[in-house]
């Protein structure tokens, strides 16, 4: 630590060069932060620890197909099932298709299975008792400026009403929050009462989109899933039951292999970054050879010289990474505020920071290694004569 001023002196020796290198590093880590935020938004569903005991039952042929509501009673009697609920995808549009957010018709006990969504008891009671009531996530409400008591009209894309009307108007009676900041994307949904939905829709009555089951013992999950699927085996509504995580992983993988795309871009970015900073470091050490000779003359060991150069490289990378990640955090919160749930982005949390800083340290050590070794191996006579 007492050599910190030496590292600093080396960095400000050529200010413009350090500044430009730093800005390249900032650009690289800004990109890293943004891409990691997209990646983890697609991935968080897969690692959603809150739902380990939940299973999803959909029609085996495809989850776009409906299932009869009569399955409810039969699933409830499967040993090992502690609670069952159901929901329908509604796919309504608020004002414009650009304002996409998921909206679903849910059973009265739906929220019981999702304890991570917090709704006050009064609002919950109001939701149960208001036929045309709806609840939304806090982030969505903030995005559209909705307050309790507002009427929210949705244009149906799938289900017209019995009279042929296409506009469903809901009364906002509750706003739920999500405890875990990682699940904040789940605040971008709207739920309304399934009973009202089923009564008012023109067709499909008595059918549900999917069942959610809570198992008493997660160790028994596979057996329970098989038992549920056995109920409708060989019927015209065969089901497929899997854990909520497995379902989410499968769903996300249908969009694209996000991991592959992000990985490829990051590969290109960091390859260039290593080349660029590596070249700068080599240059910086080359210029200072006589100075390194002086350091060694006054008694700095080979190892200290090595450490000094490595520290210099790591300092640039770490500082650049910190600025880049902070910028990424700002950009992500701005985009989330403006676009709402339309684009999946995770806040830049401590995991992304940790990954980014570790990566920065690694890159710093890699690009510092060759110049540092060169500095370490210099002989004093050669160095002083600038050879």
Partner 1 sequence: MWGKIGVALLMLLVIVLAVVLLVLCPWWMLLGFVVLLALWLALTRTGRQTWSVTQVGLATIPQRLGAASVVILGIAGVVGVLVAMLAMAVGFEATLRQTGDDSTVIAMRAGSQTELNSVVDHDTAELIAQQPQVLRDAKGQPIASPELVVVASLPKKSNGLDANVEIRGVGEHAWELHPNVRISAGRRFTPGLRELIVGKGARTQFAGLDPNSTLRLNGQSWTVVGEFESGDAHDSELWADADVVGSAYRRGSSTASVTVRLTSPQALAALKASLAADPRLQVDAKTTRDYYNAQSENLANLIRILGTVVGAIMAVGAVFGALNSMYAAVAARAREIATLRAIGFRGLPVIVSVLIETMLLALVGGAIGACVAWLIFNNYTASTLGANFSQVVFDFKVSPALMWSGLKWALAIGFVGGLFPAVRAARIAVTEGLREL
β-pairing verdict for 190-193 and 103-106 = parallel
Q: How far is the CB of 80 from partner 1 (least distance, A)?
A: 24
| DSSP E strand stretches across the chain | 54-59, 67-68, 81-89, 103-106, 117-118, 133-137, 151-155, 167-178, 190-193, 207-208, 210-215, 239-243
CA distance 74 to 64: 22
| Percent of the chain as helix, strand, coil, to the nearest 5 | 60, 15, 25
Q: Which helix (H) or strand (E) holds 382?
A: helix 380-384
Total residues contacting partner 1 by CB under 8 A comes to 55
Q: Does 72 bind partner 1 (CB under 8 A)?
A: no
Give me the numbers of helices (H) and strands (E) for the chain, helices first please: 13, 12
CA distance 223 to 217: 10
Q: Does 96 bind partner 1 (CB under 8 A)?
A: no
Q: Does 374 bind partner 1 (CB under 8 A)?
A: no
Residues 274-303, one symbol each (x = binds partner 1 by CB under 8 A, - = not), give -xx--xx-xx--------------------
CA distance 100 to 93: 7
**Nearest residue (CB) to partner 1, 76 versus 279:** 279
**Nearest residue (CB) to partner 1, 3 versus 100:** 100
Residues 14-43, one symbol each (x = binds partner 1 by CB under 8 A, - = not), give --xx--xx-xx--xx-xx--xx--------
Please identify which residue in 6, 50, 65, 216 interacts with partner 1, judged by CB under 8 A. Answer: 65
Residues 139-178, one symbol each (x = binds partner 1 by CB under 8 A, - = not), give ----------------xxxx-x---x-x------------
Residues 6+ apart with CB under 8 A from 356: 29, 32, 33, 36, 321, 324, 325
| 4: DSSP letter | H
Q: How far is the CB of 259 from partner 1 (least distance, A)?
A: 11
Q: Does 249 bind partner 1 (CB under 8 A)?
A: yes
Please give the torsion angle defined by the CA atoms of residues 357, 358, 360 and 363, in that order, rounded to the nearest 10 degrees: 180
Place of tokens 């039969």: 74
Q: How far is the CB of 369 from partner 1 (least distance, A)?
A: 15
Residues 331-370, one symbol each (x = binds partner 1 by CB under 8 A, - = not), give ------------x---------------------------
Applying CB under 8 A, the residues found at the interface with partner 1 are 16-17, 20-21, 23-24, 27-28, 30-31, 34-35, 60-65, 91, 97, 155-158, 160, 164, 166, 203, 234-238, 240, 249-250, 253-257, 264-265, 268-269, 271-273, 275-276, 279-280, 282-283, 343
């Amino acid at each position: 630590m007492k050599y910190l001023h030496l590292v600093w002196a080396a960095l400000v020796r050529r200010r413009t060069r350090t500044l430009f290198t730093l800005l390249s590093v900032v650009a690289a880590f800004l990109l890293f932060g943004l891409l990691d935020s997209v990646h983890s938004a697609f991935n968080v569903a897969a690692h959603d620890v809150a739902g380990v005991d939940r299973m999803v039952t959909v029609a085996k042929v495809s989850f776009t197909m409906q299932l009869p509501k009569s399955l409810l009673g039969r699933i409830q009697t499967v040993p090992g099932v502690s609670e069952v609920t159901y929901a329908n995808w509604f796919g309504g549009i608020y004002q414009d298709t650009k304002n996409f957010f998921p909206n679903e018709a849910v059973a009265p006990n739906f929220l019981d299975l999702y304890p991570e969504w917090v709704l006050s008891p009064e609002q919950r009671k109001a939701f149960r008792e208001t036929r045309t009531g709806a609840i939304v996530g806090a982030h969505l409400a903030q995005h559209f400026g909705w307050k309790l008591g507002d009427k929210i009209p949705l244009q149906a894309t799938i289900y017209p009403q019995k009279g042929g009307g296409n506009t469903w108007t809901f009364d906002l009676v509750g706003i739920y929050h999500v405890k875990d900041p990682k699940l904040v994307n789940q605040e971008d949904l709207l739920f309304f009462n399934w009973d009202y939905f089923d009564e008012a829709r023109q067709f499909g009555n008595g059918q549900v989109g999917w069942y959610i089951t809570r198992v008493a013992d997660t160790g028994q999950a596979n057996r329970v899933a098989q038992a549920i699927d056995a109920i409708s085996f060989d019927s015209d509504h065969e089901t497929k039951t899997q854990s909520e995580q497995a379902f989410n992983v499968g769903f996300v993988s249908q969009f694209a292999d996000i991991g592959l795309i992000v990985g490829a871009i990051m590969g290109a970015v960091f390859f260039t970054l290593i080349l660029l900073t590596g070249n700068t470091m080599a240059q910086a050490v080359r210029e200072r050879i006589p100075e390194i000779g002086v350091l060694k003359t006054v008694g700095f060991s080979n190892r200290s010289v090595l450490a000094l150069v490595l520290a210099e490289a790591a300092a640039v990378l770490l500082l650049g990474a910190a600025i880049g990640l902070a910028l990424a955090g700002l950009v992500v919160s701005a985009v989330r505020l403006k676009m709402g749930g339309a684009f999946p982005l995770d806040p830049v949390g401590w995991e992304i920071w940790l990954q980014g800083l570790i990566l920065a340290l690694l890159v710093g050590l890699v690009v510092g290694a060759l110049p540092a070794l060169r500095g370490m191996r210099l002989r004093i006579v050669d160095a002083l004569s600038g050879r």
